[in-house]
Amino acid sequence: MIRTEAAAREAIEAIGGREAIEKLELLAAALREENERQNLVSRGSLDETWVRHFADSSQLLAYVPRGTRGAWFDLGSGAGFPGLVIAVFRPEDPTVLVESRKRRVEWLSRMTDRLGLPNCEIEGKRLELVDTRKAAVISARAFAPLPKLLSLSSRFSTAGTHWVLPKGRSAAQEVEELPRNLRKMFHVEQSRTDDEAGIVVGKGKIGTGK
């Protein structure tokens, strides 16, 4: 379990090296500054940014096989978690941040430029209006209840799509309440940053036999 800021930095450096640490240090400083202008994250979480936002995001990489190629779709990116953090670790593949709120979109645009993330694409619109394309990975943190999330994002999924969906305390219950054909696609992994949180993990296409 990652409980301290120091432990979070060590875990992140083990994955992405000093370059990742340096980029995320820039992001941490910018996040604290921007949070004075708009409520990107809870004020109380700023003193635990490396655990609550950076390690919480980067842990999702453990559930996507190394070498997975293709676009990583992050739905409802908000302040950029996990999307911006994922883009730092996957510079050779597109990370698509879907966010409809104008001020959040402006923030994400500024940070992709400041962090030097040409692989990071921003879709500044509702998910329903995003053009259909294949996603290698789909993530979402605090986006929507699981049934709605799967319904809205089904058209981006393929048989090879990996799903990594942080769901907090409700993870197991949300999976259990899915229809049987969907329930068997997913399982819950323990979060490494929160004793009470789970991550819904799965692979496959959501649809009607296509």
Q: Could you tell me which of 11, 5, 18 has the C-alpha nearest to residue 45?
A: 5
What secondary structure does DSSP assign to 66-82, as a single string? Answer: TT--S-EEEET-TTTTT
* 209 pLDDT above the threshold of 80: no
* 42 pLDDT above the threshold of 50: yes
State residue 102's pLDDT score. Answer: 97
* 208 pLDDT above the threshold of 60: no
Q: Give the model's confidence band at 142: pLDDT under 50 very low, under 70 low, under 90 confident, else very high.
A: confident
State residue 156's pLDDT score. Answer: 98
State residue 207's pLDDT score. Answer: 81
Positive or negative CA dihedral for 131, 177, 82, 124?
positive
CA distance 20 to 115: 10
Q: How is residue 55 annotated by DSSP?
A: I
The mean pLDDT value of the chain amounts to: 96
Q: Give the model's confidence band at 210: pLDDT under 50 very low, under 70 low, under 90 confident, else very high.
A: very low
For the segment 118-142, the average pLDDT, to the nearest whole number, is 97
For the segment 92-106, the average pLDDT, to the nearest whole number, is 97
For the segment 188-194, the average pLDDT, to the nearest whole number, is 98
Q: How is residue 103 annotated by DSSP?
A: H
204 in the Ramachandran plot: left (φ > 0), alpha (ψ -120 to 50) or beta? Answer: left
For the segment 86-112, the average pLDDT, to the nearest whole number, is 97
Architecture of domain 5-203: 3-Layer(aba) Sandwich (3.40)
CA distance 69 to 65: 10
Q: Give tens-digit pLDDT for 48-83.
A: 999 999 999 999 999 999 999 999 999 999 999 999
Task: Say whether 198 sits in a helix, a strand or coil.
Answer: strand
Contacts with 48 (C-beta within 8 Å, 6 or more apart), sequence order? 5
Q: Centre a 10 Å sphere on the Cβ of residue 57 and count the other Cβ atoms it contains.
A: 25
What secondary structure does DSSP assign to 125-144, as a single string? Answer: S-GGGSPP---SEEEESSSS
Tell me the whole-structure pTM to 2 decimals.
0.96
For the segment 161-174, the average pLDDT, to the nearest whole number, is 96
Q: Please state whether beta strands 95-98 and 198-203 pair in parallel, antiparallel, or not at all (unpaired).
A: unpaired
State residue 120's pLDDT score. Answer: 97
Positive or negative CA dihedral for 150, 163, 156, 143?
positive
Domain regions of the chain by residue span? 5-203
For the segment 6-19, the average pLDDT, to the nearest whole number, is 97
Q: What does the angle CA 93 – CA 146 – CA 52 come to, to the nearest 5 degrees? A: 60
Q: Give the model's confidence band at 155: pLDDT under 50 very low, under 70 low, under 90 confident, else very high.
A: very high
Q: Could you tell me which of 85, 80, 135 has the C-alpha nearest to residue 105?
A: 80
Which carries the bigger pLDDT value, residue 210 or residue 192? 192
